Structure 1
């Protein structure tokens, strides 16, 4: 179909023209975007994850940013998670102000020295 004709037909399409089953989606995104989604799906069903699953990465980044080394319980309450779930989210986040073993030994993580503090 000619692109211009297609665009005219989309503009002339009303919500009432869309099957009731799909109308709520068309109401949310608009008729033109609904047609684009329809083109994308090519007749297949599209799965939309639950909103909370979409928001998980942003929530986890915020938890990591808000972590101060002492507030796991408060973060769990704020984000309605268990302290174990918060701990899992923070598993790769260093505790603020805590030295790692290489800093404590004064070597830095890249050092190939194998001497202990006593041997210095």
Structure 2
């Protein structure tokens, strides 16, 4: 795409159905996404499924041998789930 044209594009010029993405990413990045993925269907996973490995790493590093309840409260999980995450370490 012609850089001059892309630089003149403003948020209000983007169709409403795509404006949320452009607001979050910025117009320039939105254009890059259109160039890379234009014409395809794109699925965005929930953020929790993307950040889960880092969350689990934190839980394992904070585990002291018995603080299941505290970790469950801190991370919004049930104790059973915390136990499963800690057990995966072994």
Query: TM-score higher than 0.5 here?
Result: yes
More relative contact order in 1 or in 2 (CA 8 Å, sep 6+)? 2
| Unaligned segments of structure 2, at least 5 residues | none
Match of 2:27 in 1: 31
| Unaligned segments of structure 1, at least 5 residues | 95-120
Match of 2:46 in 1: 50
* Structure index of larger Rg: 1
Cα distance, 1:20 vs structure 2: 0.6
With the length of structure 1 as denominator, give the TM-score of the two structures: 0.69
CA distance in 1 between partners of 2:12 and 2:69 (Å): 51
Root-mean-square deviation over aligned CA pairs: 1.4
- The alignment of Structure 1 onto Structure 2 pairs a total of residues equal to 90
1:28-74 deviations in Å (ceiling 9; x for gaps):
11111001111121211211111222221111000000001011121
Structure 1 segments, 4+ long, off by >3 Å, are: none
Between Structure 1 and Structure 2, the one with more helix by share is 2
1:52-102 deviations in Å (ceiling 9; x for gaps):
2222111100000000101112111211111111111111335xxxxxxxx
